[in-house]
Structure 1
Amino acid sequence: MASINRKPIVHTHEGGKAVLRTPQQELFVLCVSFLNEDSFYETASETRLRLEELAAHTCSDTDWCLNLIKWLRGDGGLRTVAQIAAVALVHARLGKKLDGGNRQIIAASIQRPDEGPAVLNAWKTSYGTIPKPVKRGVADALQNLTENGYLKWNGKTEKGQISLTDAIRIVHPQPKDEHQSALFDFIVNDHENEDRKALLLSLPVIQSREAFNALSIKDKVAALTGDDAKNLIKSARLTHETIFSSLGKLEPVDAQRIWLKLIPDMGYQAILMNLRRIIDSCGEDSEPIRIALDRIDHPMEAGYEPLPISFLSAYRNVPDIAKPYLEHAAEYSLRHVPELPGRTLVMVDRSGSMWSPLSQRSTLSRYDAASMFACALGLKNPRSVIVPFEDETAEPVVVEGENPLAMLERFGQAGGGTRVGDSTKSAYQQYGPFDRVIVITDEQSSWWDGTQLKDAIPHKVPLYTWNLGGYHGALSLGNRNRVNLGGLSDAAFSLLSFDTGTKWPWEL
């Protein structure tokens, strides 16, 4: 791929005029939109090459690099790109002989046991020999390894050239206590039967899990439905994935009895993601589904802080019996949406490229995410005007009721070209004035778009542009009150207070 053009004016993939972001701005927007797969306008390899070049431009600012990785893996909730960006930044830093902070940047990208091996695999695949700062960063992160984490992620740690076993042998993490020393020993070394039994006495969770795995399917079902089932589930850290993958297809009566033991202690998100599975295995008119729906209906009791988009995939995948509960829970999630003074114009890009999925594993598109974000803002701020657009603006979406999931049906289907600037200018003139304008788009305006987005509204009016594509070039930079962000993560709503040019999300 050709080197990134650093002239002030660049063009979108559709030929529209755009403004060049700073390398830090572009790396941030790329990361929060990163899929590590082909997108509508860019292959995965092109995106990775662009990330590496941006890393070379930004790597000298140690604090900024570390804060970026911490935020991506923490509040940003972006796991894979945190590791890929950390590897690229540290590689660029070592190439410039920049010491101090490299170990910390690597460690900040790792939270789960499978992520340490993933970082080592990423480095070895891209750059070959693994240097000491990378090994030390992975070793620091592996000091958080527990029996629970090992059992939960054991299958994923064995993928790639470097497994968790290999990683421990390569980086030599210093165990923080005798219990962790026994755990490292168990993972790395092969033991004869008697030695293994003795070692397992120091690892009660793994010992309990192995005892469960040794049972026949019939005995597993009996244990999971008996009086001591909850103690077994807790002591062996048995998850619903572990249980049902080991049992195969069950009779509905057995599935119901097992789900009844699991659901009361499952996390809210786990129930939400498995609602369809519970219904399919137990039936709509069953006690497990009644308990599950009651849990869904009360997210506040679970201590869960969802955003409306959390419910959309489940909503589209369940029968009608479950939808009222999801709708009610989605209403509760609106309490996290800010109340904005005055009037807000929300522009939602529904051009063809917005129909791209959020990821290869997701059933939701970028347009879904943009529409749900707009629904939430509109319902919490009834003076808002929400306008979908393509080549031209559509009729405003009617903001009424209290349910963002039902409101979503009013947005229409994605398709057509993109004129971001002309559409925003037209909507502002027709429905304005406004106190702020929010544009949710992949910023791929067409060559026939006659208005630069940054000039589409008065300069005194704040303009927030969310880029969901992460592509090169911005449409709204260059003036006061012009804020260009990326992605729609759980942190998105807090970014409405983002101060252009002076603060990053981790500084809010």
Structure 2
Amino acid sequence: MANKNLFSSAMTKIMPRSDTVNQAGGSAYAYGPEAMLAQLAATGTLGDGFYSGAQAQLSDALDAATKVDAVWVAKCAIYARQSGTMKDMPALLAAWLTTADPDLSIPVFKRVIDNGRMLRNFVQIMRSGQTGRTSLGSRPKRMVREWLEQASYRQLMQAATGKEPSLADIVKMVHPAPKDPTRRAFYGWLIGKPYDVAALPVEIAAFEAWKKDKSRPLPEVPFEWLTSFELTAKQWGVLAGRIGWQALRMNLNTLARNGAFQVKGVTKTVADRLGDERAMARVKPAPYQLMATLAQVGDSVPLEVQAALEKALEASVSKVPKLKGNVVVCPDVSGSMQSPATGYRKGATSVVRCIDVAALVAAAVLRSNRQARVLPFAERVVDAKLDPYARLAVNAEKLAEIWGGGTNVSAPLAKLNRERAEVDCVVIVSDNQSWIDSNCCGPTKVMTEWKKLKARNPGAKLICIDIQPYGTSQAKDRKDIMNVGGFTDAVFGAMARFTNGEARDWVEIIGQVKL
């Protein structure tokens, strides 16, 4: 008799066959073009990953964009920027729309290009030729010009911090029309042309005066303009109370190194600012960014400030839903998860690894669901003892210390089946590049084990959080399975909507974005 495992008609009727091979050589399911673009938009950073490079991400994104409606591209761009806080992918999709659907590109540009960094990204991508042109073109040039003409001086000064292209380069390209003598003087100062000194914006005038006399009060300009000069500890203390929330988070060691915390009142000011939940709500820092900062702060940063960072980390995952019933969360701790979460980039590689993100998600789910089981896995499930009442950073660090081995995404499901466990929700956090459990044909092992688990727990749901843009999944989307990509609190919101029955899958959630 033929092999029943290979030729079972009942199996193929119930579960779909795997239809592709993933980057690690294992059987998998390819995302459809809409889900593919959504995953790339939410997880792609156009950096080199463990299995594929930046060029592959770019090619995949542009290929997926050509296979879907332009409206879907627009929704992915907006979701990735506003919910996923991504930078390069939203700018890429906005640039692509300028040729694919010029009319639609206008509202997308206004919602995606929301600061100077994004403006420079957009212009750089447009000029690269990757989206079909090597110059801005009349309509994109008009959109950039209007952004410049409508921006406040604070926005323009922030935009002037950075190069390739610089804001001066952009002004020279699009020739914005100065609306008054002050704006004309600013543009002249920016691009090195003659200007009316008396008409300069007060901030720029103060900066020029300060450069000549450092005893004057620090001008209200981007702190990067000032830190290229030698500053006193007191001046660093002034900056600690003035710079943006994210800049403050990223420069704690710099403040300590320059004596700012030795200045009276600075420690309390910094701690209060970091713990300000209203400020966090405006900035929307990613939880993994805060965890990275906690890991990097030196002993010279006061404990009061470090405690405020922990408070901020706890607040950043406050949207993790309370899931009903028996919850199991499974972080992937295999070798590939050691790669940087945002990819390898020369001179700008993140210290945060994929495993750090997976560990943080697991610890956050445990925080909101105290009775949840945590089953880290690589080739097999790894034992881990976590205290559900411990600080978030403590549990995340414990999980991140467990790593190594191949990837077997079905391992935790197989363990639950061996135990005949009662389960209501399983959350898997992985790069999805399973290969040890690969089948030569038929469904993936994840789907096979999920079928067994569902036979005992018919109401169970599976959430697969994918944190890398490789374009395949181990479980096929259906009413009880959701694949969602990303590493911001938007993922937690998607989990809540799925488990509450408010949305069938991630594609549906993105589809609800209003244009």
TM-score relative to the length of structure 2: 0.81
Cα distance between partner residues in 2 of 1:333 and 1:52: 32
Alignment pair present for 1:124 and 2:110: no
SS in 2 for 1:492: helix
Residue identity matched to 1:487:
G
Cα distance between partner residues in 2 of 1:182 and 1:147: 12
Residue 9 (structure 2) aligns with: none
SS in 1 for 2:508: coil
Residue 316 (structure 1) aligns with: 295
* Larger displacement relative to structure 2 (391-400 or 34-43): 391-400
Shift of residue 473, structure 1, vs aligned partner: 1.5
Residue 46 (structure 1) aligns with: 56
Residues 308, 87 of structure 1: alpha-carbon distance in 2 compared, 3 angstrom cutoff:
closer
Shift of residue 28, structure 1, vs aligned partner: 1.0
Cα distance between partner residues in 1 of 2:468 and 2:280: 32
SS in 1 for 2:150: coil
Residues 179, 74 of structure 1: alpha-carbon distance in 2 compared, 3 angstrom cutoff:
farther
In angstroms, what is the RMSD of aligned CA positions?
A: 3.0
Alignment pair present for 1:443 and 2:426: no
Alignment pair present for 1:290 and 2:267: yes
Cα pair 1:313 1:363 within 8 Å, conserved: yes
Shift of residue 369, structure 1, vs aligned partner: 1.0
Cα distance between partner residues in 1 of 2:258 and 2:491: 36
Residues 197, 99 of structure 1: alpha-carbon distance in 2 compared, 3 angstrom cutoff:
closer
SS in 2 for 1:316: helix
| Count of aligned positions | 466
Cα pair 1:464 1:482 within 8 Å, conserved: yes
Cα distance between partner residues in 2 of 1:74 and 1:244: 30
Query: Equivalences for 1:391-406 in 2 at 5 Å?
Result: 391-406=379-394
Of 61, 64, 73, 2:81 maps to 73
Of 229, 238, 263, 2:240 maps to 263
Cα distance between partner residues in 2 of 1:312 and 1:135: 39
Residue identity matched to 1:347:
C
Residues 316, 66 of structure 1: alpha-carbon distance in 2 compared, 3 angstrom cutoff:
same
Residue identity matched to 1:507:
Q
Residue 144 (structure 1) aligns with: 150
Query: Equivalences for 1:413-428 in 2 at 5 Å?
Result: 413-427=402-416
Residues 333, 31 of structure 1: alpha-carbon distance in 2 compared, 3 angstrom cutoff:
closer
Cα pair 2:204 2:221 within 8 Å, conserved: no
SS in 2 for 1:445: coil
Alignment pair present for 1:105 and 2:108: yes
Residue 276 (structure 2) aligns with: 299
Residues 467, 244 of structure 1: alpha-carbon distance in 2 compared, 3 angstrom cutoff:
same
Residues 144, 472 of structure 1: alpha-carbon distance in 2 compared, 3 angstrom cutoff:
same
SS in 1 for 2:220: coil
Query: Percent identical across equivalent pairs?
Result: 22
Residue identity matched to 2:72:
W
* Larger displacement relative to structure 2 (169-178 or 67-76): 169-178
Cα pair 2:432 2:466 within 8 Å, conserved: yes
Cα pair 1:120 1:130 within 8 Å, conserved: yes
Query: Equivalences for 1:54-453 in 2 at 5 Å?
Result: 54-58=64-68, 61-91=69-99, 93=100, 98=101, 100-126=103-129, 127-156=133-162, 158-160=163-165, 163-173=166-176, 180=183, 183-184=186-187, 187=190, 190-191=193-194, 195-200=195-200, 203-213=201-211, 215=212, 219-220=213-214, 222-223=215-216, 229=217, 233=218, 236-247=219-230, 254-255=232-233, 257-282=234-259, 287=264, 290-291=267-268, 294-295=271-272, 298-300=275-277, 302=279, 304=281, 308-319=287-298, 321-322=302-303, 323-359=306-342, 360=345, 361=348, 362-411=350-399, 412-427=401-416, 429-430=418-419, 432-449=421-438, 451-453=444-446
Residues 438, 303 of structure 1: alpha-carbon distance in 2 compared, 3 angstrom cutoff:
closer
Instruction: Render the CA deviation track for 1:331-354: whole Å, top value 9, x for unaligned.
Output: 444533322222211110011111
Residue identity matched to 1:204:
V
SS in 2 for 1:345: strand
Shift of residue 76, structure 1, vs aligned partner: 1.7
SS in 2 for 1:120: helix
Shift of residue 206, structure 1, vs aligned partner: 1.7
Instruction: Render the CA deviation track for 1:30-54: whole Å, top value 9, x for unaligned.
Output: 1211122211111111221111111
Residue 10 (structure 2) aligns with: none
Residue identity matched to 2:334:
S
Cα distance between partner residues in 2 of 1:262 and 1:167: 28
Unaligned runs of 5+ in 2: 1-16
Instruction: Render the CA deviation track for 1:255-288: whole Å, top value 9, x for unaligned.
Output: 1x22332333444433322222222222876646
SS in 1 for 2:159: helix
Residue 226 (structure 1) aligns with: none
Unaligned runs of 5+ in 1: 1-6, 224-228
Residue 456 (structure 1) aligns with: 449
Shift of residue 144, structure 1, vs aligned partner: 3.4
Residues 270, 260 of structure 1: alpha-carbon distance in 2 compared, 3 angstrom cutoff:
same
Shift of residue 151, structure 1, vs aligned partner: 2.2
Cα distance between partner residues in 2 of 1:205 and 1:283: 24
Residue identity matched to 1:315:
L
Cα pair 1:267 1:302 within 8 Å, conserved: no
SS in 1 for 2:484: strand
Residue 3 (structure 1) aligns with: none
Residue 8 (structure 2) aligns with: none
